[in-house]
């Protein structure tokens, strides 16, 4: 059991997979394609995508936090 499971007041950061799931579930066609590219990319290309499209990743990080 994780500490955040014991204390509902502890805010947990979403995992990358939770963020990508929020993007593929709630995003438009462009954001969903970012998820596809991110999953296909190696670590270097994933960093490039995350840096280039930080706005989208941050937006869906917030959405994943609320879920």
Calculate mean pLDDT across residues 40-48: 98
Q: Please give the Cα distance from 44 to 47 (Å, whole number).
A: 5
Neighbours of 40 (CB within 10 A): 9
Domain ranges of the chain: 14-66
At 13 the pLDDT is 93
pLDDT digits (tens, 9 = 90+) for 10-20: 678 999 999 99
Whole-structure pTM value: 0.80
**Is 23's pLDDT higher than 60?**
yes
At 12 the pLDDT is 82
Nearest to 65 by CA among 16, 8, 11, 2: 11
At 67 the pLDDT is 82
């Amino acid at each position: 059991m994780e500490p955040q499971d014991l204390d509902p007041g502890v805010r947990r950061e979403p995992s990358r997979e939770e963020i990508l799931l929020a993007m593929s579930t709630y995003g438009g066609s462009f954001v969903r394609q970012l998820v596809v590219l991110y999953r296909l990319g190696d670590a270097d290309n994933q960093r490039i995508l995350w840096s280039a499209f930080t706005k989208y990743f941050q937006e869906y990080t917030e959405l994943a936090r609320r879920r």
